[in-house]
């Protein structure tokens, strides 16, 4: 029987910290469903990228890192805004799973309340690898953000005009 985990996140954008969590999880499960959360939202400062764009970033970033993509599913899931049923809602979108993979205390609790086991990965230099920080660097014109994401993710953000999008939606140019 395949042992599967689910790793939810917004991945705005997908960075090296996320890659580390995926690698860590794949040492513990046979397959991992990466859930692109808040799939319905884009073009805001908190969620500048579409679900489709984030899927491309995840697949290309994991390929950069040499992760076996045959062991990974990437699934977009829109928000439900009802925490008590969130884990069961999530289960409708992904293959059957045994483990939730999360550090967020609320997400850990929701998985456990729904009867799932939880794998809590170590924090991978959260001060450095933070999507919020990366977006702030983009907004400020700090090109150092490129070192915090896999090379193909930086190239893709360039291709879609991601930095310009963030600057325009916040009224900064």
pLDDT, tens digit, for every residue of 47-87? Answer: 999 999 999 999 999 999 999 999 999 999 999 999 999 99
pLDDT tens for the chain, 173 residues: list them: 999 999 999 999 999 999 999 999 999 999 999 999 999 999 999 999 999 999 999 999 999 999 999 999 999 999 999 999 999 999 999 999 999 999 999 999 999 999 999 999 998 888 899 999 999 999 999 999 999 999 999 999 999 999 999 999 988 76
pLDDT score recorded for residue 119: 98
Residue identified by tokens 């930086």 is 154
Separation CA 109–CA 49 (nearest Å): 28
CB atoms within 10 A of CB 132: 10
Separation CA 58–CA 63 (nearest Å): 8
pLDDT score recorded for residue 171: 85
pLDDT score recorded for residue 127: 84
Domain span including residue 24: 4-169
Separation CA 72–CA 93 (nearest Å): 14
Contacts of 148 (CB under 8 A, 6+ apart): 15, 16, 128, 129, 133, 134, 137
Separation CA 134–CA 117 (nearest Å): 31
Contacts of 52 (CB under 8 A, 6+ apart): 76
What CATH number corresponds to the domain at position 154?
A: 3.40.50.620
Structure-block tokens of residue 56: 């491309």
Q: How far apart are the first and last CA of the chain?
A: 53
Separation CA 93–CA 62 (nearest Å): 21
Separation CA 82–CA 47 (nearest Å): 20
CA–CA distances in Å: residue 10 to residues 15, 20, 50, 142, 156: 11, 16, 10, 22, 17
58 neighbors 76 (Cβ within 8 angstroms): no
Separation CA 23–CA 124 (nearest Å): 12
pLDDT score recorded for residue 173: 63
Q: 72: which strand partners? A: 32
Number of domains in the chain: 1
């Amino acid at each position: 029987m395949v042992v599967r985990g689910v790793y939810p996140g917004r991945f705005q954008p997908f960075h090296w910290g996320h890659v580390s969590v995926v690698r860590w999880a794949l040492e513990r499960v046979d397959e991992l469903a990466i859930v692109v959360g808040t799939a319905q939202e884009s073009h805001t400062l908190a969620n500048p990228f579409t679900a489709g764009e984030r899927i491309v970033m995840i697949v290309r970033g994991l390929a950069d890192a040499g992760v076996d993509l045959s062991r990974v599913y990437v699934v977009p899931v829109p928000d439900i805004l009802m925490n008590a049923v969130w884990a069961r809602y999530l289960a409708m979108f992904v293959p059957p799973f045994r483990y939730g993979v999360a550090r967020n205390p609320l997400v850990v609790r929701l998985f456990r309340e729904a009867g799932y086991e939880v794998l809590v990965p170590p924090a991978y230099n959260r001060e450095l690898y933070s999507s919020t920080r990366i977006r702030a660097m983009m907004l400020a014109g700090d090109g150092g953000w490129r070192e915090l994401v896999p090379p193909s993710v930086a190239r893709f953000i360039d291709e879609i005009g991601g930095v310009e999008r963030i600057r325009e939606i916040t009224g900064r140019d």
